Amino acid sequence: MYLTKKEESILHGEQGEVPERMLRLLVQLGDIYGADKMIPVGSVQVAGVSYKSITDPGTEFLEDLAGKGAKVKVLTFLNPAGMDLENWETLKFPKEFAKNQLRIINAFKNMGIVITATCTPYLAGNLPRFREHIAWSESSAISFSNSVIGARTNREGGPSALAAGILGKTPNYGFHLWENRQPTIKVKIETNLTLDADFGALGYHVGKQVKNKIPYFTGITNADTDQLKALGAAMAASGAVALYHVEGLTPEADLVRKDNLENITVTKKELDEAYEKLNTGKEPDIVILGCPHASLREISAVAERLKGRKLRKPVWVCTSRMMKEAAERMGYSEIIENAGGHIVADTCMVVSPIEEMGYKTTGVNSGKAGNYLPGFCKQNVYFAHLEKLLEAVV
């Protein structure tokens, strides 16, 4: 890989230990994947924020970097933390957990990272443009920025994204190159997608089928950004899909080559099977929405259905601090809280310790959450669309 004189000097330790270690990691990755050079990135998004995910070794790794003066050079946002960073006591997050979580947040703050804690940075003030090079690491946000926005990022691991933030650069390989953004499988949708949960179920099914390929969808006639967010998130969780194209909807779909591709078809039968596979439980103890973090439109849909009603079981709507602020202004928060629910910011069900909080079965409308909750939170899953989920708990 070609390195500039300045990059060479960093590798020789002339700018201190932290930049040297970070560049060494990126150069090693660049060499493996055939990068020709380092390229500047417009923004960074760092995963590996919850204490539950990274535990003591990860925490010590970050504190070590922060202690040695690591600072980011470009706009850098964070993935969700393991708790609401402001209301954790009210929501009964364990004290010991909170103490460790705040150590991690403090380390990031000392590095100059914006304490945003969201998996939807594009809804919270970190919006890349078409063809902008970025280094993001939340799998659903990678999928959204690559596919729906047409920005360019590889699937960065938490540490490699952090390295990109500290250096303001990333190795030029993979999805940064047009050649590698061409679809590798065609997915024909021969069923109507109408409910919110349909997109999660579809993504769950397709991700399992295509693993790390680049799907080109046909037959999705309309989908808003919330539905594309749900589709991409589920494919990134059940497979490793970082980029997909949808005929007529996503910006690169018309530009890519689509000849001679392997085909798969999804009919109502496969979609129904995905619903069945995702459902491992019946009676939810709690319903958690907002995976990925809810948009204002999604929060308003919950508020509309909870207006004047009382919940028997808790309902959480997970979102970013910015969307929560907007929901408060619009009165959505008050409606949801009067019904007995909560808008929870900065965190989500997958990275919070819900199994330690006494919940056994969680109701979700997200294919991504449905994929992760059984393994990581020891939860049974009740997977259904929003209306049905809320009917189960009012």
Partner 1 sequence: MKGRTISPGKVKGIALVSKDPIGFYGGIDIKTGIVIEKGHPLEGQNVKDKILVFPCGKGSTVGSYVIYGLQKNGVAPKGIINKETETIVATGVILAGIPCVDKIDIEQIKDGDMVVLNADNAIVEVAH
Residues that bind partner 1 (CB under 8 A): 25, 28-29, 32-33, 47-48, 53-58, 61, 79, 137-139, 142, 154-161, 174, 211-212, 236-240, 280, 350, 371-372, 374-376
- Residue 53 or 295 having the CB closest to partner 1: 53
- Residue 240 or 330 having the CB closest to partner 1: 240
- Residue 147 or 333 having the CB closest to partner 1: 147
Smallest separation, CB 58 to partner 1 (Å): 4
With vertex at residue 91, the alpha carbon angle to CA 89 and CA 94, rounded to the nearest 5 degrees, is 60
- Which residue type does 164 have? A
Smallest separation, CB 162 to partner 1 (Å): 10
- Residue 174 or 341 having the CB closest to partner 1: 174
Smallest separation, CB 278 to partner 1 (Å): 11
Smallest separation, CB 61 to partner 1 (Å): 7
The CA distance from 179 to 246, in Å, is 18
- Residue 66 or 315 having the CB closest to partner 1: 66
Smallest separation, CB 174 to partner 1 (Å): 8
Residue of 168, 170, 157, 175 lying closest to 47 (CA atoms): 157
Smallest separation, CB 44 to partner 1 (Å): 13
Smallest separation, CB 279 to partner 1 (Å): 13
The CA distance from 379 to 280, in Å, is 9
**Contact yes or no for 366/350 (Cβ under 8 A):** no
- Residue 332 or 372 having the CB closest to partner 1: 372
| Residues contacting residue 322 through CB under 8 Å, at least 6 positions apart | 116, 118, 123, 124, 125
**Contact yes or no for 266/188 (Cβ under 8 A):** yes
- Residue 138 or 270 having the CB closest to partner 1: 138
The CA distance from 240 to 333, in Å, is 35
**Contact yes or no for 193/385 (Cβ under 8 A):** no
Tokens at residue 381, please? Answer: 């899953």
**Contact yes or no for 44/60 (Cβ under 8 A):** no
- Residue 54 or 193 having the CB closest to partner 1: 54
Smallest separation, CB 273 to partner 1 (Å): 14
The CA distance from 190 to 264, in Å, is 11
Cα end-to-end distance, the chain, whole Å: 59
| Residues contacting residue 232 through CB under 8 Å, at least 6 positions apart | 140, 143, 144, 147, 148, 203, 241, 244
